Amino acid sequence: MVSVPGEGAPLIGAQPVKDTVKRGSMNHANFIIDNPGKIIEFYELDRKKLGEGSYGSVCKGKNKSTSQIRAVKTIGKAQMKNVERFKQEIALMKMMDHPNIIKLFESFEDRKNVYLILELCTGGELFDRIIEAGHFTETQAATLMQQMIRGVYYMHENKVAHRDLKPENFLFSNKDAIDKKENILKIIDFGLSCKFEPGQVLTTRAGTPYYVAPQVLQGRYNHMCDTWTLGVIMYVMLSGFPPFHGDTDPQVLAKVKAGKYSFNHPEWQDVSEDAKDLIKKLLIMKQEDRFSAEQALNHTWIKNTAPKAKKVALTAGFVNKLRCFRSQNKLKKAALHVIAGQLDDTQIKALRDIFMALDANGDGLLTAAEMRTGMQKSGLKEVPADLQQILEDVDSDGSGVIDYTEFLAATLDKHSYMQRDVCWAAFRIFDKNGDGKISMDELKAVINDGEVKGMTNVQTLASIMQEMDKNGDGLIDFEEFMGMMKGGGSKML
């Protein structure tokens, strides 16, 4: 851990202190728990650790119901110096819903630890790939930059600044070659992230010397600190060394403050002018003139060098899935949403490709216009007249756009969600107290959760309960739940 010379706030650290956040000791009250049961009741934990640090450790965990392998991050409560910041990190991770951002599935808690169940990425850090390769070709760098920028664009559109982007905080989903479309890059570690409002000045000095933006060192900056960092990472990927370097952290930080770098090294001789131009626009000193993530995504170098979105051929069956989803009752929609959120990249690859192809501006959200244009370009002969209404029903949170998991929920094949173990995993999310039955209070709790909030109201829930509760005991057991998933379900608005 190091500090900015001459300044009291930490530059690097797991828990920088914001003016509005006070340090406090951890009490043993449950504060982020998703599941009341013990983690070992639901997961078989691998004794071999994937990583270890001052926060705790990471190992593999096998879901006993679905056999899915996850990464289990164990954080010791005794090591938590700032509980509020940890709560904020979890809340921000729960918000994130994008193919290029690590997914938090669920969490557990006991007297000593908090356990985060995360997407398992087996391809290692971007940092290690850079060390291994020395530097990347422009096609490789553009492929990775496009993914990184997409993730940051989505975050910024959702008013979240990461504040600690660096090659160590990007993981590859698998060990395939960088150029392979199956190998997805994921943003991780939201420990220094924060929500922001337009025009808000951020003051916490947080980051890593090589990658930190000059304004962060001054303690007056905004979310554009992230795009500066993207420029530094792009420079490193194409040359093999950082634009601002020195023998000590103070030397590095002094060069960052000056903002001077060059392309005079031999490694830059064969790099295109377009690539250098994008770096220049990301490393502009004045943050108001610096390229945004949206501008970077539309830069000539990204447009011409990164792989184009794969063309997808949509059929009438695709529209029928959307229309069928519209006809389901709200509980089934919520269940499909939960199931979609639990699936691995490998299980939804085809749907992910369709989503990315339809997402014309790359912000990780689909508008009605993007859907209409995408359908027309895909060769779909007739765009349905009721498309707008279909999309409004798919938009479960009423945001006006369709997010990634909403899209997956509406387009899943029936055989993907009708397996009993998959449905059981979804049922367990609703069955908060683990007694094998879903009560009205548990229904309300899940429906009002951030992930599926706004999907229905109390009156509708009562109607759903009445329809699903075949034995009239005022509860929904698993067989009744399975019956609902098998059937079409009447539409209840």
| Residue 254 structure tokens | 């002094």
Q: Where are the alpha helices (DSSP H) in 240-378?
A: 249-258, 273-282, 293-297, 300-305, 316-327, 330-342, 349-358, 368-377
Rounded to 10 degrees, the C-alpha dihedral 234/186/96/108 comes to: -140
pLDDT digits (tens, 9 = 90+) for 18-61: 322 222 333 334 444 566 568 998 899 998 988 877 678 999 99
Asked if residues 340 and 321 have their Cβ atoms less than 8 Å apart, the reply is no
Asked if residues 96 and 89 have their Cβ atoms less than 8 Å apart, the reply is no
pLDDT at 429 over 70: yes
| pLDDT on residue 447 | 67
Query: How is domain 39-118 classified at the architecture level of CATH?
Result: 2-Layer Sandwich (3.30)
| pLDDT on residue 23 | 28
DSSP code of 346?
G
pLDDT at 376 over 60: yes
Query: Measuring CA to CA, how many Å separate 118 from each of 16, 62, 454?
Result: 24, 12, 25
pLDDT at 470 over 70: yes
One-letter identity of residue 350: A
Distance, CA of 394 to CA of 405 (rounded, Å): 10
pLDDT digits (tens, 9 = 90+) for 85-99: 888 888 899 889 999
| pLDDT on residue 73 | 93
pLDDT at 261 over 50: yes
pLDDT at 13 over 50: no
CA end-to-end span of the chain: 54
pLDDT at 198 over 70: yes
Across the beta sheet with 69-76, the strand order is: 43-53, 56-63, 69-76, 113-118, 104-109
What's the mean pLDDT in 212-221?
Answer: 96
| pLDDT on residue 30 | 43
Among 376-390, 397-411, 473-487, where is mean pLDDT lowest?
376-390
Average pLDDT, the chain: 82
| Assigned superfamily of 126-305 | Transferase(Phosphotransferase) domain 1 (1.10.510.10)
What's the mean pLDDT in 134-154?
Answer: 94
Q: Which residues are catalytic?
A: 164
DSSP code of 487?
S
pLDDT digits (tens, 9 = 90+) for 277-289: 999 999 999 999 9
The domain ranges of the chain are 39-118, 126-305, 316-486
Distance, CA of 236 to CA of 242 (rounded, Å): 5
- 3-state DSSP call for residue 213? coil
CA nearest to 83, candidates 37, 114, 38: 114
Greatest C-alpha distance within the chain = 77
pLDDT at 15 over 60: no
Query: How is domain 316-486 classified at the architecture level of CATH?
Result: Orthogonal Bundle (1.10)
CA nearest to 254, candidates 285, 290, 210: 210
Confidence label for 309 from pLDDT (cuts 50, 70 and 90): low
Most confident of 264-273, 359-368, 396-405: 264-273
